[in-house]
A and B are shown apart, each in its own frame.
Chain A
Amino acid sequence: MQLNVNGTQHEVDVDEEMPLLWVLRDELNITGPKFGCGIAMCGACTVHINGQPARSCSMPVGQVSGLITTIEGLGTPDAMHEVQAAWVEHQVAQCGYCQPGQIMSAAALLQMNPNPDDEAIDHAMSANLCRCGTYPRIRAAIKAAAQNIREKSA
């Protein structure tokens, strides 16, 4: 089957039931999306499908249609997305394992809501666990990124 990941078309031959996460990680060597729980309870595997956040660990690849974006496609170390830049500015990451998922959820939130209040942030981000408890800095970085994006587009 065909998959478009970060703008590149891939041909994969796997069981259609295989979750997208494992196609990305073990078939395509795209390791930014992380395995945390396998049951859509931690959000470490979050990617975008047509711009919408999706828990790739629980999405059978056979049901995926559209453009897939992973953390690697959001921005790169030399050309970071506004959300990634805000994460660096606020020094959010500790162990860092959950952060690709956090950042993908945050980027999707800001696509839909350019000025999220605390409640909107709680709603969008509560599916993403962080054992290092970086939540306060995540919240601050989302607000900063939102402001930067708004200022740029103003």
Chain B
Amino acid sequence: MSILGKITRRTFVIGSAAITSGVLFGVYKYKQPYPNPLEKNLAQGETALTPYVLINANGVTIIAPRAEMGQGVKTTLAALVAEELDIDVQNVRIEHGVPSNAYYNAAVLEEGVPFPPQDTSSTAQMARDFMHVPAKFFGVQVTGGSSSTVDAFEKMRMAGATAREALLLAASAKLNVAKNTLSTDNGEVISKDGQRIAYTELASLAASVELPDDVKLKPKSEWKQLGRPIPRVDMVEKCTGTATFGIDVLQKDMLYATIKVNPHLGAKCHAFDANNAANMKGVKAILPLADVGAAVVATNTWYAFKAAEKIDFDWARTEYAQSTDELFESAIAAFNEEQQDSQNRDDGDVDAVIGAAGDATIHREYRAPLLAHATMEPMNATAIMKDGQLDVWVGTQMPTYALSEAARVSGIEAQNIRIHTTYLGGGFGRRLEMDFIVYAVMVAKQLEGTPVKVTWSREEDMTHDSYRPFAVARFKGVTQGKNISALDVKVSSPSVMESQMGRLGVSLPGPDSTIVQALWDQAYTIENYRVTGYRVPMGIPVSSWRSVGASQNGFFNESMIDELAIEASADPIEMRLGLITHQPTRNVLEAVANMANWGRDVAENHGLGVALVTSFGVPVAEIVEVVNTPRGIKILNVYVAADLGIAIDSRNIDAQLISAVNFGLAGAMMGEITLLDGKVQQTNFHNYDVIRMHQAPVIHTKILENGERIRGIGEPGTPPAAPALANAIFAATGLRMREMPFNKHIQFV
């Protein structure tokens, strides 16, 4: 890990580390595949044609090695294989599979290239492709960065096509006919004379054929499953209470535990006194949790929760900011040359234009608070350590890291550990963390031979998150006619990558592009344009929160553009179009304007607001319609247009856009984590509420396919929601929201 360990997921410096690793391992090594993890555990009569396709007499199994956390990835990935394998995805078994470097995510580093997503030049494209090299050597199986489909699109279709080819070769040998006389249909090979042989019958024969390396993929026009709505394979079980989330795992003679960890995040537990808890009903054991807290093991989770309340802890304190005010003071203080993290854009002469404009320069400051992920399923994991073996059942976004963390904590070698990845009751970035896995293994290690499910209370979950960073943005803008002639953008926040990678034991070289994500890389061409990121020193742990830096920066930037348009008496959409040449981005903006009938006469007290943010390569334009009622703001409609390059499943993309919009609105309307006395003050949904049914707007979506390549859609719908809402509120009320959450300044109904 020494050199490679420094290569990080999104913030990779092209030209140094990528080339280093390329040289280090050589092209040959890069081309060499990782061993097929399925081959280790094959049963009699089973054949693993690729790491994604397992066939035995009972049927076909497809491995979909990404976390199913709501985004439908289990169905989408399996469908990629099934399309080329020529079998109905509803007729196969789909498993997540074991943690393996073979399932590394090649696309997750692409965002780190120093080229904005609108740049499709061959140099930019080469740089993106080059990121696959370190991604492979890093070997991280990760679900994040809206990258699963991007990563899988070629590779999993190729896996299906290769398997189909092997089956055709096997059938050709079996029937002693030429391969080109054979065809396939939904799980069977068909000969010219109408004989049908099920794939399952060919499995063992196919295992011995030499896999061809010149397999061709079907053209899009021949797709039977992809490109249209596919019923989600997890839908029936999720609607009947039969889906197994981590928290639902049952093991024989299992005990139930909970944990209490220092609420001063990152500080130690000096000591604890469990005398009042140890004899409570149902309590089996109270165990130290390394030096950060304690675990209560009981016969029922509720007994564990009750007893955990009765433990007296002597907590150490942290050195960092102890209050919300101090957090923002640290963000303001970071606006200095020494804490400058990046300046990815410096076009024209910003200082000269602003200097010349003098008092006409528009100065604005915006703020965003810490946010919790608050997944519906609180953190949990189940583990048993027995006879030198360890089994862990957990919903995780990073199974390969889970495996190495389980090995580190338990002292058991990785080959004797099994990580069973369950469904995730929400991820949003929270389940990229390792804490809930580490604590479960710590408990299991002290209870050798007994399976134990460790469930966090909501209070523990809410107060021990790694949060969306707080951030402050300062803009200076100069307008000329109905145009923007200069824009100076400064943003300051702690580094998600430094914090997140730090917890994985990896140090971050160079700047963190997520600090300026969705600021420097937008489609706007402004003659004098500068974007500078400043890094606040590490304090409270921060992490990826659905759409990462774009979640706050989209709000800052698109609010500022709206303010400039209004100052210039320009139409906000026309002004934006005047700054954009990238055609797919223009198209989403024009599409959303049509959907919302932008420019229409708006009823009294109603307001429309627009925002456009490109994140993870996907341009998304949203228009929010609100009405200002005597009781507060009601969000009526949200119109969304997004360009994914290629849309595999429009119904699922619609679901992801709806989800992302509501996630963004919830944060903008009411999301805020505050610190007091060094501890997070919000503990549960009564003081950290999220959007509910009566507040949820009607959401209209339109999916475009003009982009140059396929993109993922788990996150990009989130960033435009907050600014579009802020701009709509301004249109309806004249009040400008420059700080999230907006309910500090205005009521919602």
Residues in A lying within 8 Å of B, measured CB to CB: 14-15, 18-19, 22, 25-27, 29, 31-39, 41-42, 44, 70-72, 75-77, 80, 84, 87-88, 91-100, 103, 121-123, 125-126, 128-139
Query: What are 22 A-B interface contacts by the 8 Å CB criterion?
Result: A22-B300, A26-B256, A26-B302, A27-B300, A31-B244, A34-B376, A42-B376, A88-B231, A88-B239, A91-B655, A94-B659, A95-B427, A96-B237, A96-B245, A96-B423, A98-B376, A99-B239, A129-B685, A131-B428, A133-B661, A134-B655, A134-B658
> Is there contact, CB below 8 Å, between B234 and A96?
yes
Cβ contacts under 8 Å, A129 to chain B: 376, 685, 690, 692
> Is there contact, CB below 8 Å, between A133 and B302?
no
Cβ contacts under 8 Å, A72 to chain B: 240-242
Cβ contacts under 8 Å, B374 to chain A: 131
B10 within 8 A of A: no
> Is there contact, CB below 8 Å, between A138 and B693?
yes
> Is there contact, CB below 8 Å, between A94 and B72?
yes
Q: Which residue of B lies closest to A128 (CB)?
A: B693
C-beta contact mask, B685-703 vs A, less than 8 Å → 1, else 0?
1100011111010110000
Chain A facing B: main interface SS:
loop
> Is there contact, CB below 8 Å, between A132 and B426?
yes
B744 within 8 A of A: no
> Is there contact, CB below 8 Å, between B693 and A32?
no
Residues in B lying within 8 Å of A, measured CB to CB: 69-72, 229, 231-232, 234-245, 247-248, 250, 256, 281-282, 299-303, 305, 374-378, 423-428, 455, 457-458, 651-652, 655, 658-663, 666, 684-686, 690-694, 696, 698-699
Minimum CB–CB distance for A56 against chain B, Å: 11
Minimum CB–CB distance for B599 against chain A, Å: 26
Cβ contacts under 8 Å, B425 to chain A: 34, 95-97
Q: Which residue of B lies closest to A130 (CB)?
A: B376
Q: In whole angstroms, how far apart are the Cα atoms of A135 and B659 in the complex?
A: 9
> Is there contact, CB below 8 Å, between A100 and B241?
yes
* 8 extra A-B contacts, CB within 8 A, seeds A18-B303, A132-B659, A133-B660: A34-B245, A35-B301, A36-B378, A41-B686, A72-B240, A93-B234, A95-B375, A134-B658
> Is there contact, CB below 8 Å, between B240 and A75?
yes
Cβ contacts under 8 Å, B303 to chain A: 15, 18
Q: Which residue of A lies closest to B697 (CB)?
A: A136
Cβ contacts under 8 Å, B281 to chain A: 15
Q: In whole angstroms, how far apart are the Cα atoms of A80 and B237 in the complex?
A: 11
Per CB-CB distance, the 4 closest pairs between chain A and chain B, nearest first, are A32-B241, A133-B662, A96-B238, A97-B425
Cβ contacts under 8 Å, B694 to chain A: 122-123, 126
Minimum CB–CB distance for A42 against chain B, Å: 5
> Is there contact, CB below 8 Å, between B424 and A95?
yes
Q: Which residue of A lies closest to B234 (CB)?
A: A96
> Is there contact, CB below 8 Å, between A92 and B241?
no
Minimum CB–CB distance for A111 against chain B, Å: 18
Q: Which residue of A lies closest to B235 (CB)?
A: A88
Q: In whole angstroms, how far apart are the Cα atoms of A24 and B652 in the complex?
A: 33
| Residue from B232, B237, B377 within 8 A of A34 (CB atoms) | B377
> Is there contact, CB below 8 Å, between B241 and A71?
yes
Minimum CB–CB distance for B687 against chain A, Å: 10
Cβ contacts under 8 Å, B659 to chain A: 94, 132-134
Q: In whole angstroms, how far apart are the Cα atoms of A94 and B301 in the complex?
A: 26
Minimum CB–CB distance for B371 against chain A, Å: 12
> Is there contact, CB below 8 Å, between B699 and A136?
yes
Q: Which of A31, A98, A126, A133 counts the most chain B CB atoms within 10 A?
A: A133
| Residue from A29, A44, A77, A131 within 8 A of B237 (CB atoms) | A77
Cβ contacts under 8 Å, A70 to chain B: 241
Q: A42-B685, A133-B661 are in contact. Are A97 and B376 (CB under 8 A)?
A: yes
> Is there contact, CB below 8 Å, between B376 and A44?
yes
Q: A34-B425, A44-B376 are in contact. Are A136 and B696 (CB under 8 A)?
A: yes
Q: Which residue of B lies closest to A96 (CB)?
A: B238
> Is there contact, CB below 8 Å, between A77 and B250?
no
Cβ contacts under 8 Å, B377 to chain A: 34, 36, 95, 97
> Is there contact, CB below 8 Å, between B686 and A93?
no
Q: In whole angstroms, how far apart are the Cα atoms of A45 and B455 in the complex?
A: 15
Q: In whole angstroms, how far apart are the Cα atoms of A71 and B690 in the complex?
A: 24
> Is there contact, CB below 8 Å, between A34 and B655?
no
Minimum CB–CB distance for A131 against chain B, Å: 5
Cβ contacts under 8 Å, A136 to chain B: 658, 696, 698-699
| Residue from B239, B455, B658 within 8 A of A87 (CB atoms) | B239
Cβ contacts under 8 Å, A93 to chain B: 70, 232, 234-235, 238-239
Minimum CB–CB distance for A128 against chain B, Å: 7
Q: In whole angstroms, how far apart are the Cα atoms of A100 and B242 in the complex?
A: 9
Q: Which residue of B lies closest to A86 (CB)?
A: B239
